[in-house]
């Protein structure tokens, strides 16, 4: 709910169904900076408004750098 002065306004919850690959594709189309992509993914997941199906439940994001 949002507030407007002393009044509460009901807002409609929007559910977006997508998968992790589509999120990554959308983010990488906006920037080629991998650090920004990982930071944005971290922000999305830390909002606690993301739910995963049973196949993606054990996913873990790490910000450590990997040498290629």
Span 9-64, pLDDT tens digits: 777 777 777 888 888 899 999 998 999 999 998 888 888 777 766 665 555 666 66
Specify the pLDDT at position 29: 94
What is the count of structural domains for the chain?
1
Work out the average pLDDT over 4-9: 66
DSSP assignment of 29-44 equals: HH---HHHHHHHHHHH
Q: Is there a domain that residue 4 lies in?
A: no
Domain that holds residue 34: 19-50
| Within a domain: 39 | yes
Q: Look at residue 62 in the predicted model and tell me its pLDDT.
A: 64
């Amino acid at each position: 709910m949002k507030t407007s002065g002393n009044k509460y306004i009901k807002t409609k919850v929007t559910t977006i169904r997508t998968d992790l690959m589509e999120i990554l594709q959308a983010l990488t189309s906006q920037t080629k900076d991998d650090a920004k992509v990982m930071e944005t993914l971290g922000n999305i997941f830390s909002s606690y408004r993301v739910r995963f199906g049973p196949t993606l439940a054990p996913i873990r994001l790490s910000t450590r750098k990997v040498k290629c």
